[in-house]
Each structure stands twice: as C-alpha cells, then as structure tokens.
Amino acid sequence: MIGFIELGHGDFIIYNADIITMNNNYPYLPKDKTIEYVKEDNPFMAEAKLVRNNYSSDLNHPTGAVVVLNGEIIGRSANQSAIKNKRLLDLHKNGLCIRKILKIPSGKAYWLCPGCASPSHHAESRAVRDALSHQKSIIGADLYLYGHWWCCKPCWDSMINAGIAHVYLVEGATELFK
C-alpha cells in the first residue's frame, strides 16, 4: 500500500506502508501480522476518533476503536480507566499517573496505575467484545483504532481469537501518539 504524509507548505513524503510497518519498531507485533494505515478522513477511522473523543475515560491516552464487517460498523468502544471519579480522572490527566511518574514504557505495568486503562479495557479488546455481543462471528472483520500507534499483546490476542483480518491505524499515528 502506497501512501503519503503531508508536511504542510505543499511538501509531502511518499511511503510504502509495508516498509513503514517494518521500520516502526512497535513494542509488540505478532510475527505474521502487519498494521496498515488509513487517512484521518476515512469514515471508519473518523468514527473511531469520534468514539475516542466522546467515550474514553483514560484522559492521558484516550483511544477509540470500531470493528467493521462487510462495510458496516458492528462494534465500537473507547478505552476505560478503572477510576470513575471525575476529579481523580482530571488529576490523572494532569500528571498524577503512577506509570508516567515512574516512566513506565508504553504497554507495560498497567496494574501500577488505576487511572490507566488496563489491557482488557483497551479500545481494541472492548470493541471486539462489543461486536461479539451483537453477532456470533466477526471472522474477517477489520478493526480501526484511533489514538495509539501500536496494539499490545492482550489486544492482539483478542483480535486474533475473534478472527479480525486487518488492523488499521491513522496515517502518522506514530508521530501523533508516541
């Protein structure tokens, strides 16, 4: 898949998504899997962004995901913090994040911080569960994720188990969300 990244002032980089995928150094990627990229105005990516903006409660790293089968959205969700209290969520957003304070790398030791969404409450896993609550099989469906630049192992496991065919991130996700 060939795409391009606009740099403004009419400049842009043409890239081959396969090469970008190999050079991205994701903290985790199953051996036989790739991550693909679509533009922000792709309707499914736009919906993932909307879900993220409206429903995530992990205000440090809000993410949203939709599951698409045969051109139709059959599941959607945003990542959720274990904290429900609005004041605590704001404190978490404003720096009181134990993982941030301890400089824990992306994808590691979620259990340390109740403010960070744990893997089972990441947008990908929740969107898969939402889709499976609506229909028995979602084999061959695609997942669109907005708000992050890679997917953790528990999320990949749940996507692979459900038969998700393609995982799409927004173009420039690494630069936007790393």
Applying CB under 5 A, the residues found at the interface with Zn ion are 97, 99, 113, 115-116, 119, 122, 152, 155
Give the whole-angstrom CA distance, residue 178 versus residue 173.
8
Torsion, Cα of 153, 154, 156, 160 (10° steps): 130
CB of 97 to Zn ion, least distance (A): 3
Cβ 20 to Zn ion shortest distance, Å = 21
φ, ψ of residue 140 to 5 degrees: the values are 90, 0
In whole angstroms, the minimum distance from the beta carbon of 67 to Zn ion comes to 15
Beta bridge partners of residue 38, listed in sequence order:
170
Q: How far is the CB of 164 from Zn ion (least distance, A)?
A: 13
Q: What is the C-alpha separation between 46 and 51, in angstroms, rounded?
A: 9
Q: Which is nearer to Zn ion, 21 or 118 (CB)?
A: 118
Minimum CB distance to Zn ion smaller for 5 or for 89:
89
Nearer to Zn ion by Cβ, of 97 and 141: the residue is: 97
**Token pair 């995530």 in the structure block, residue:** 56
Quick one: which H or E segment has residue 132?
helix 123-134
Write down the least CB distance from residue 141 to Zn ion, Å: 17
Residue 154, helix vs strand vs coil: helix
DSSP 100-112: HHTTPPTTS-GGG
**Beta carbon nearer to Zn ion, 69 or 152:** 152
> Of 49 and 99, which CB lies nearer to Zn ion in the complex structure?
99
